[in-house]
Amino acid sequence: MSNVNVTLKRSKFGRKPGHRECVEGLGLRKIGDTVTVSSANPCIMGMVNKVNYLLAVNPAESE
């Protein structure tokens, strides 16, 4: 699997409860937070796809 950087671009407040839980499950707390997801498996990518209107997703740079 590949690594991806996920950045929260829009607020999670005022969203559906399931969408807020997905954002929190990805480890994002406030606008501008970036998390590198090391195992981009189908479960994680499903969470990203569910709240894609709140996020910016970029491939992580390999070391």
Domain boundaries, the chain: 4-59
Residue 63 confidence (pLDDT): 58
More confident residue, 26 or 1: 26
Q: What is the pTM of this model?
A: 0.87
Residue 38 confidence (pLDDT): 84
Distance CA 21, CA 37 (A): 17
Distance CA 18, CA 12 (A): 11
Assign domain 4-59 to its CATH architecture.
2-Layer Sandwich (3.30)
Sorted by sequence, the CB contacts under 8 Å of residue 52 that are 6+ apart come out as none
pLDDT band at 60; cut points 50, 70, 90: confident
CB 31 within 8 A of CB 8: yes
Q: What is the mean pLDDT of residues 16-45?
A: 93
pLDDT band at 40; cut points 50, 70, 90: confident
Structure token pair of residue 45: 């990518």
